[in-house]
Amino acid sequence: MLKRAPAAALDAARSLLSPRRLDPHSADIAAARAAFAQFVKLEAAHDPALVDMYAEDGVVVERMIEAGVEKPAREFPLQRYKASLARALTVSRKANETSTHRAVTLEWVAAGWVLVRSIRAYTHSRAPAPYEALLKREADGCWRVAKEIATLVL
């Protein structure tokens, strides 16, 4: 007659075989998810600390769709963007602007790199539009936006 394994042993075996345990990238994904949640929180609060969520190097790409036609994308170095972002946050707070993200997905790209995709609803956009942020883990262990691609529907 076969003996049944104790419930604790079965639970331990299940946890070892869980998809999360088998995914070697789950730590990067979890850390990037927490960083993006902080990013969204700071963005919603118009908090100047949002500037620190961007890496020193990298780019911001602004895509615009006007009357159903996509305009040429504009690209800004993050150093230049960060300087104007602090001022823009003050203006957006006073104007009571909003930005919300839904359907957020994270995709592991390489060690220390995770791509975040969402649909972003933004005050200046007539319709929700795709949003992407490439997050990287920097030498200090913090995850920051290395590339942001924001789409506005005008």
Q: Is residue 10 part of a domain?
A: no
Q: Is residue 4 part of a domain?
A: no
State how far the Cα of 119 lies from the Cα of 36, in Å rounded to an integer.
Answer: 14
Residue 113 has pLDDT above 90, yes or no: yes
Q: Is residue 9 part of a domain?
A: no
Per-range mean pLDDT, top range of 55-69, 71-85, 86-100, 104-118: 104-118
Q: Is residue 19 part of a domain?
A: no
Could you tell me the residue range of the domain that residue 58 belongs to?
Answer: 24-153
Q: Judge whether 126 and 98 are in contact, CB under 8 Å.
A: no
pLDDT digits (tens, 9 = 90+) for 65-89: 998 899 999 998 988 888 788 888 8
Residue 11 has pLDDT above 80, yes or no: no
**Buried b or exposed e, range 142-154, using 16+ CB within 10 angstroms:** ebbbbbbbbbbbe
Q: CATH number for the domain including 61?
A: 3.10.450.50
More confident residue, 72 or 98: 72
Res 15: pLDDT: 52
Residue 7 has pLDDT above 80, yes or no: no
What radius of gyration do the chain's Cα atoms show?
Answer: 20
Counting the structural domains of the chain, the total is 1
